[in-house]
Structure formats: structure tokens, C-alpha cells
Amino acid sequence: MAVLQLREAIRAAMVEEMERDAGVFLIGEEVAEYNGAYKVSEGMLDRFGADRVLDTPISESGFSGLGVGAAMAGLRPIVEFMTFNFSFVAFDQLVNNAAKIRYMSGGQFSMPIVFRGPNGAAGQLAATHNTAVESLYSYFPGLKVVAPSNPDDAKGLLKSAIRDDDPVIFLESESMYGLKGEVSDARDYMIPLGKARIAREGADVTIVAHQKSYWRAMEAADRLAEAGYDAEVVDPRTIRPLDIETIAASVKKTNRLVVVDESNPFASFSSEVACQIQERAFDWLDAPVMRVTAKDVPAPYAKNLIEYYMPRTEEIVAAAKQVLYAN
Amino acid sequence: MAGETRKKAGKPSADGEAEGNGVSAASWNGHSGVPVGDEVASGLDESFIYYPPGAYTHEELGFSGDQVLDMYRNMLLQRRFEERAAQMYGKQKIGGFLHLYIGQEAVSTGSACAMEIGKDSVITAYRDHGLGLALGMTPNECMAELFGKVGGSSRGKGGSMHYFKKELNFYGGHGIVGGHIAVGAGIAFAHKYKGDGGVCLTYLGDGAVGQGSFHETMNLAALYETPCVFVIENNEYAMGTATHRAFAQTDFHRYAHSYGMISSLASGMDIFSVYKAMSDHIAQARNNRPSILEVRTYRYRGHSMSDPANYRTREELDARKEEDPIIRLKGYMLERELSSNEEFDAADDEVKRIVMDAVAFSEASDAPPIREIYEHVYSQADYPFLTD
């Protein structure tokens, strides 16, 4: 084990997989000579050369499509978006080509490609640079969506994503790149996609939260403990496929559920979890499922407004107390 | 490229009314009224070649009479296949959209003759039946795909717009205009990355030139020096919009100049023009020089089956049918006594039988079992779908 920043864990996963498989390459804006807009790919150009670490012009649609073609032809591209906000100009490549070509070809062509980059809000960046995309991309059958909350998960999940024969949307976070944590240095350290992690065991209420929201949920669990409530925190890690079994098992134990999600609330990950849990565990629920999400508005710029916009620890505590009828 | 075929840019006409918007094949050959020196002055001459119709013979191109008959037969197969498909659409055996390639067959067959099938790759848009058949997809699997049967090339999951054949390096069959162009560059990128010597031929229609993805891809392909030929099949209409109503620059090969690429113009009504141009472009691509080849062609049918094509005149259509690539080749062959009338009759009969067999095969093929709806979404065998 070594203590790594999130960016270093992601880099370690890419480096190991590129050393292991000559078909893996990295392409994106500023990934090579600039060493990555957020220094995730620092040193990779020197290590692997310009044939395998490629800078692009600002052409998300073009280089995403190039990655799709390369994947169809048997390579394993890692396509970096400087942020996933910029993936929207490449939307057709992700949701039509990457997601559907396997299906439309009757299984003839696999799509072993990873699109990765920062997701969600990162402070006072205003509406177009603060979008959480997990709800959006997990809508599409054919895609897988991964959203790790810590360096160790990031490494293990990214290695699995790179080796996966299906297209994976791998979501990171600008504000978490410096986050440090113990990371396995086992050579083939793989965390399977679609397996949730019970981060904190508890008996009274289940809180489901991923990525940045996970850390808010853990803070909320501490505060709830101070108030005498024992929260269980489940980190889904993968949004699609979703490990609903683990979440449902937790709910059947605690009988109460709060879902925390940085997406806007309408037709989102949180609404999906709420729906599936009422389908699977209605009889076990002692209270309606509560959601804590970004507000139902575009992300604002002003400091106080963006802080209010994001899921906050006190909102999670309040939601948990509400399902516990503790107010 | 081969010096002897270079013409100093007999500029295709964009005169509009007088010659119709497009350039009839006959009007290209130095009759456009534009001084030849124009393009030379623009600096395009070094990278632009014009392949006029009627300029090449099969002997010059190294084809035997039998090979020419094979070309004829292949084009005729596409024609008869689609005529029959249109009939089956009318009988509601085929659903959804059906975009016919009729009139453009010289482009597909001429290309297939110029490439190394299995080594090189091909990707195109939704008007894909002709290329599929030219590359060697079977009429049975092609027709059954239109019928939505398990005997289809995609087991009935893709339909008319989504032919794929991995063994032939045929990468589809894509329904979103312009969406596949960058994919073509990626396939070419993979050829270069793997060093397998293959090139990717990326076909697109004139309408796709208006998409941003076209321009992004041209830049990337040129920047990364990918072994790619971008073939713009200019059939003069993007659905119902004539090129001159959609583009300020209707000489599409000229876009190559912006990206530092070589380009040419060929006649899609003359298979030898297509073949010669494709051969030269593929040779360039093998040296990692991407290029744009504009092929002037024409579709006789509407955009899709629901389109009566009221945006063009009967006279225009009739005039273009005079240049029919199949009739043209047949005339060429008769004139040179490459094939007898008996051989043509035999070819017609054979093609007709193959197509009728394909219809019978498709009728007999089963509809996909319902359980297959969950197959081929993911490679992961135990993906946990939300099932009912």
C-alpha cells in the first residue's frame, strides 16, 4: 500500500494497463506535453511516447469518434475529457456510437473504450462547467458509468474499466484530485464494476452516496452518531450497472433510505434508486425514501448560491432525521 | 499520383441554372466554361486531380474482359437487390427507413475493386446496401436484415441503415449524418497504430459535409496522418435540399485544401473513373496521406421510400438516367465486344435468381426470439438488466 492522491491513483492505473497492453493509449486535450490539465497524466508522454499519449485539438466530437473507431478496430483507447461538461459536444459519439454499435451490429463489434475526466461541480464555475453527468449517461443501455469516491477505488475500478470490453464512462472530480488515500499496489488490483461498498455499517438508516457526495454522507453519519443514530453508508461506486442488491439488503436491515446525488433531481440517479427500492423493498420501508441532490436549477456562480446548490451535510442529516421521524 | 491522368483542374461547374445545379458527367470534361488556369493560380494544382468519365479503358487499368463482366454483375446485383427491396417495402415485409443507392453503384463496385478487402476497412452512412454487397456481404444476410430476421447480418437488430460485417472489415452502416466520419478516422488510426498496412475508406454524403464532425475529423486525420480516404458521394441532394441551397462551396473536394490534404474529383457514373481515383487515393493512404475524393453521382430514387422527390424535375432525373453507370458499362462492353448479349442475359438471369433466393431465404428465416432483445447490449454475460 502507498498513500496516493486521487490523480496519482488514476495515473497508476493507466500506466500499469499501458505497460500490460500495447493496445491501450491515451488521447485528449493537453494530456501529453502539458502533462494533463489537472496533471493526471503527468509524465506519461515521456514514458510512453507520442504514439500512445496524444494531444488533440479542441475537437471533442472528433477525438471521441476517433476513439470509438479505434476501439472497434481492436485497440483500447482511454479518451480524456478535460471535464465531462465538454463531452456534450461529443454526445452523439458516446450515446449513439459507443453505446449502440455492439447492439446494432448483432454483437459483431465490441467497444473497449474508456471516456474519463472530471465530473460535476468544482466551485464557482457557473452553469456550463458544473454539470454532474452520471444520471445522464447511465440512462443509456450499452454504457457503463463509474464514479469512485477515493483513490483506492479509482485505481481498482479504472483498471477494470480499461480491461472491460464495454464502453465505460469513468467519472472523476477536479476538487478531489488532491484527495489522498491508501492505494493497493498489487499488480492486478481490480475492483469489479457493479459492486457497491458498504463504507460504514449501521442499523438505523441507509445513506447511498457516491463520489463527492460520499464524503458529505460520511460527515452526516458522524453527526447522526453524535445524536445517537447509527447510519449505514453505501458507496455504489458504479452507477451502471448498479448494485441494487447491496442497497436493498441494507434497506431491509435499516428500513430507511436517503439517497445523496450531485445530479439535478429530475429523472436522476437518486430517483432511479428510490424507484427501484420501492419496487424491491416496499414492505421493509418505514418511511418514504428521501433524496438530497443538487437544486433543480442550473449551477449558479455566486459563492453562497453554489454552496446552497450542492448537496450539503446538514441537508443529509435533516433528511436522515426525517426518515427516522427524529425531528 | 499518376502524372498521365492529371488534368489541370477542369473545374466542375457551379453555374447553377444552365446545367442544373450539379455537374452532369458530360459537362465536366472541359466544358464548364471556367478557364483551366483558375485552379492553378489558387495553388490547388499540386494536390488536385480530376478523373473525367470516359477517360480510362479497362486495358489501361489492367482488367480482363471477364473481370469487367464481374463488375457489371456486381453493380447489377445491387440494382436488382434494391429494386426488389423497394417492392418488399411496399408489401410491408420491410419496415422503418429504406434508403436506396440506385444510381450510385459504380462508386461501391469501383471502390471494392480498388481496395484489398479484408485488409482495408470501410465505413459508410445509412445508404449502405450497395457497399455491403460490393464488399461481399451475401444477398441473403442483407435481405434478411431488411426483413428483421435472425438470418440477417445483425440478426435483425440493425435494419437497413446498419449493415456490419466484421470479417470484411465493414464497420457499418450508420444512421446519424456525419456521426461515423470520425469513427472512420479512428479505424484508420488503428491500422497505423497496429502497423498492419490497411487503410480505411470512409464514405459520406454531400449532406454530411455540413456537420461539424466532418471538419473536426478532416483536421484530426490530417494532423495524425491517418491512412484514410474520405469519399464524398455527392449525389446533389441532402434529402430534399440541393447542394447549392445548403453549401456556399459546392465543390466539396476543395475542403481538402483547408486541411492540407490532397483531393480529387471523379465521376460516379463511370466505374473506371471511380476505380482509377480510388486506386490512387488508396496508394496515398498507404503512405499515411489522408485525402478527400469527391465522387459526383446521382440517386434516382427519393431520399427514402416516403420521398416522392418533388424537389427535382422529371427532366433532370431523365437526363441523369441517360448516364446510368450500369448501362454505360454495358454499352462500353458491347462496343468493345467484351461480352455477348447472351452473356448479359445470363448475368441478368443469375442476378435475378440470387435476389429471389434472398427473398425466399428472408421469408423463411425466423424473427429473432424475444430473449435476444437482451443480447449484444454488453459483452458482459451476466449484466443485470432491469427486466420485466
Q: How far, in Å, CA of A70 to CA of B281, rounded?
A: 21
Residue of B nearest to A195 (CA): B384
Give the residues of chain B that fall short of pLDDT 70: 1-46
Distance CA B331, CA B72 (A): 11
Pairwise CB contact (< 8 Å): B220 & A25: no
Positive or negative torsion for Cα A101, A103, A109, A114? positive
- Produce one character per residue of A177-192: b if its CB has 16 or more CB atoms within 10 Å, e if not: bebebebbeeeebbbe
Which is catalytic among the residues A30, A42, A129, A219?
A129
Cell output for B205: 454524403
A1, with CB counted inside 10 A (0-12, 13-18, 19+), is exposed
Beta-carbon contacts of residue A279 (< 8 Å; ≥ 6 apart): none
B39-67+103-138+163-337 CATH: 3.40.50.970
Hey, what's the cell of B101?
A: 443507392
CB contact under 8 A, B164 and A106: yes
Pairing outcome for strands A53-55 and A2-5: unpaired
E strand or H helix that includes residue A243? none
Rg (alpha carbons) of chain A, rounded to whole number: 19
**pLDDT confidence of residue B227:** 98
Judging contacts by C-beta atoms under 8 Å, the chain A residues touching residue B121 are 73
Pick the closest to residue A234 from A277, A199, A194 (CA basis).
Answer: A199
Judge: A64–B182 Cβ closer than 8 Å, yes or no: yes
ipTM for the whole predicted complex goes beyond 0.95: yes
CA distance A47 to A18: 10
C-alpha cell at A200: 460504514
Residue with cell 464524398: B232
Q: Which helix or strand (DSSP H or E) is residue A289 part of?
A: none
CA distance A241 to chain B (A): 7
Residue among B162, B100, B96, B105 nearest B134 (CA): B105
Give the residue from A104, A115, A146, A240 with the most B CB atoms within 10 Å of its CB, the best one to mutate: A104
- Return the half-sphere exposure (C-beta side, CA atoms, 13 A cut-off) of residue B145: 30
Amino acid at residue number B321:
K
Question: Shortest CB distance from B379 goes to which of A54, A72, A110?
Answer: A110
B186 in contact with chain A, both atoms CB, cutoff 8 A: yes
Can you tell me the distance from the alpha carbon of A189 to that of A184, in angstroms, rounded to the nearest whole number?
7
- Looking at the complex, report in whole angstroms how far the Cα of residue A42 sits from the nearest Cα belonging to chain B: 22
Residue B106: enclosing H or E segment and its boundaries? helix B105-114
**Number of CB atoms found within 10 A of residue A255's CB:** 18
Determine, for residues A73 and B186 on separate chains, whether the beta-carbon distance falls below 8 Å. yes
Nearest CA-CA distance, residue A98 and chain B, Å:
10
Active-site annotation holder among A60, A80, A134, A232: A60
Furthest C-alpha separation in chain A: 60
Task: Please name each of the domains of chain A with its CATH number.
Answer: 2-183 (3.40.50.970), 197-323 (3.40.50.920)
Angstrom CA distances, A242 to A147, A197, A274, stand at 11, 12, 13
CA angle B359, B361, B366 (to 5 degrees): 115
**Does the annotation count A210 as an active-site position?**
no
* B216–A contact, CB cutoff 8 A: yes
* Residues sharing a CB contact under 8 Å with residue B110, sequence separation 6 or more, in sequence order: B71, B271, B272, B273, B274, B275, B278
Residue keyed to cell 461539424:
B212
pLDDT digits (tens, 9 = 90+) for A285-321: 999 999 999 999 999 999 999 999 999 999 999 999 9
> A211, A148 in Cβ contact below 8 A?
yes
Asked whether the beta carbons of residue B166 and residue A92 sit closer than 8 angstroms, the reply is no
**Percent residues over pLDDT 90 in chain A:** 99
Q: Where are the domains of chain B?
A: 39-67+103-138+163-337
Quick one: how many helices (H) and strands (E) in chain B? 15, 8
Q: What are phi and psi of B374, to 5 degrees?
A: -95, 5
CB atoms B166 and A108 under 8 Å: yes
The answer to whether B122 contacts chain A (CB < 8 Å) is no
Closest Cα partner for A8 from A193, A246, A176? Answer: A176
Note the pLDDT tens digit of each residue in A181-214.
999 999 899 999 999 999 999 999 999 999 999 9
What are the C-alpha distances in Å from B100 to residues B82, B296, B317, B329?
6, 17, 15, 20
Output the average pLDDT for chain A.
Answer: 98
Q: Which of A62, A106, A141 sits opposite B153 (nearest CB)?
A: A106
Q: What pLDDT score was predicted for residue B99?
A: 95
**Partner residue opposite A105 with nearest CB, options B172, B181, B212:** B172
